[in-house]
Structure 1
Amino acid sequence: MARSLDGLVFVPVADQAPGQVGRQTRFAYHEQDGRVWAEYAGGDVARGYLVGTRAGDSIDFRYVQLRSDGTTASGHCTSLVTDLPDGRLRLVETWTWESQEGSGTSVVEQLPLG
C-alpha cells in the first residue's frame, strides 16, 4: 500500500529557472481519499497551490502560483511517488506550463524527519 503524503513536506533537489520553484521552496502536502493538495512558497514563489488526485503511485494535479515579482503562472503536472533508501519519499514530476511556454521534469524529496 502506498504511503500517504498527508502532513509531509517536500523540497526540490535542484533550482529551476528564475521565477519557478527552487531549493528554497517548500511544499506542504495533504492527502485524503485519493485527493491531494499542497501549499508552497519560498525563493521566487510568494505563494502557490496545487490540487489533484492520486491513484496508487501516480499523482495528477494542476498548480497555480504567485511569484515574488507579482506575476502569476499555472500548469499541469504528473508525479510518480517513489521510495528513497532511507525511507523518505521522492516525487518525480513531469510538468507543463499552461499560462506560458515551457515544460520539463523535476524531483522533490521529503525533508528528513527530525
Structure 2
Amino acid sequence: MARSLDGLVLSPVADQAPGQVGTLTRFTYHEQEGRIWAEYTGGDVVRGHLVGTREADVLDFRYVQLKQDGTTSSGHCVSAVSELPDGRVRLDESWEWESQEGSGTSVVEELAS
C-alpha cells in the first residue's frame, strides 16, 4: 500500500475543461483510519471539499466546489493511489458529476518539495 495521504499537497498534472480544477488547483489531503478528506482551491475553484474512504490503494469520495462565477457543483470520484519512482504520490482518478452532465479521468500528483 502506498503511504498515507495525510498532510500531502497534490495538484493535477493537466488542466481539465474550463471552469474545473486544473494545474493551479491545490488539494490538501488528510487521512485517518480509512477516512480521507481534503480542501482544495485555485484556478477557477474558489473553495472545494472532498470526503470519503480509503481501502488499500483505492479512494472513493464525493466532492463539492464553489467556482469563481458563483456556481456550485458536486460529483463522485474513485482514485487509484500509487507511488512514483521519486517517492511522490500519484492519484489516477475516474470521476463523474452528479450535479450536471459529464465524466472523465484525471491524474493528480504530490507536489515536489
TM-score bracket, normalised by the shorter chain, equals over 0.9
- Which string of whole-angstrom CA distances, capped at 9 and with x for unpartnered residues, describes residues 5-38 of structure 1? 0000000000000110000000000000000000
Alignment partners' CA distance in 1, 2:104 and 2:40 = 19
Match of 2:37 in 1: 37
Tell me the number of residue pairs that the alignment of Structure 1 and Structure 2 aligns. Answer: 113
For 1:10 and 1:96, the matched residues in 2 are separated by 20
Task: Give 1:108 deviation, angstroms.
Answer: 0.3
Task: Give 1:2 deviation, angstroms.
Answer: 3.2
- Provide, for residues 70-98 of structure 1, a one-character-per-residue CA deviation record: whole Å limited to 9, x for no partner: 00000000000011010001000000000
Equivalent in the alignment of 1:18:
18
SS at match of 1:41: strand
Deviations 1:39-65 (A, max 9, x none): 000000000000000000000000000
Counterpart Cα distance in 1 of 2:61 and 2:48:
13
Q: Any residues of structure 2 matched to 1:1-114 within 5 Å, and which?
A: 1-113=1-113
Q: TM-score, normalised by structure 1?
A: 0.98
Unaligned runs of 5+ in 2: none
- Determine the C-alpha separation between the residues in 2 that align with 1:84 and 1:4: 14
Provide the secondary structure at the position in 2 that maps to 1:3.
Answer: coil
Aligned-residue RMSD, C-alpha: 0.6
4+ aligned runs moved over 2 Å, structure 1: none
Q: Please tell me whether the aligned partners of residues 22 and 43 of structure 2 are also in contact (alpha carbons under 8 angstroms).
A: yes
Counterpart secondary structure, 2:36: strand
